[in-house]
Homo-oligomer: A and B are copies of this chain.
């Protein structure tokens, strides 16, 4: 759907070049992935690909255990929401390494599309994982990868959304998070002030206060002091979507 019929499929190059013979080493190395011990990385296979303008590098839910180094060209990463609206989360240029948020997932979480004819080098992590990673290393990496995803999610919640959606989404996220750690999903204490919530969501305090009042009047939530009860999850969820 996103990939136009004009966009040729990406083409894998035969006889992949070793990193230490690669003419783009000067780009790849400052990108920070490869130290002096380039050999270590060579053990995990890397495959250079060429993508034409509008060609898709990866799509959500596609199983992925790789990073991609952009040797030339540029890409955009974006999500598609339930109404089919695209939201771009990032642009990446030559020298960038992409796909980090998918490590925690094992699958891509965004679309990634070439903005022009681009050359990307796939860095397969599967072998790297198997060979060199201790348990803690792997867990740390998962943790950081997950955090990148969370930061993206928060960005998506604030860019191109109404004040009402931001507040609803914030309350739902609080509940979900607490639930993950064994607390009640629908009744909890908000440890931060309205001012803090407003600041975090990029709104004025007055706006947040009005929305809380409106939600209470609609019977979506109840509050007494800092204790918040979500009364109508379905409708609150619908506001977000």
Contact = CB atoms under 8 A, between A and B. Distances in A.
B192 A115 contact: yes
A62 interface: no
Interface stretch (A178-186, A209-217, A229-237): A178-186
A143 B95 CA distance: 12
Which range holds the interface residue count of chain A?
Answer: 35 or more
B137 A196 contact: no
Q: Oligomeric state, in number of copies?
A: 2
A35 interface: yes
A90 interface: yes
Interface in A95-133: 95, 97, 100, 103, 115-116, 128, 132-133
Interface of A: 26-27, 30-37, 40-41, 73-74, 76, 78, 86-91, 93-95, 97, 100, 103, 115-116, 128, 132-137, 139-148, 151-152, 154-155, 158-160, 174, 177-178, 180-182, 191-192, 196, 199-202
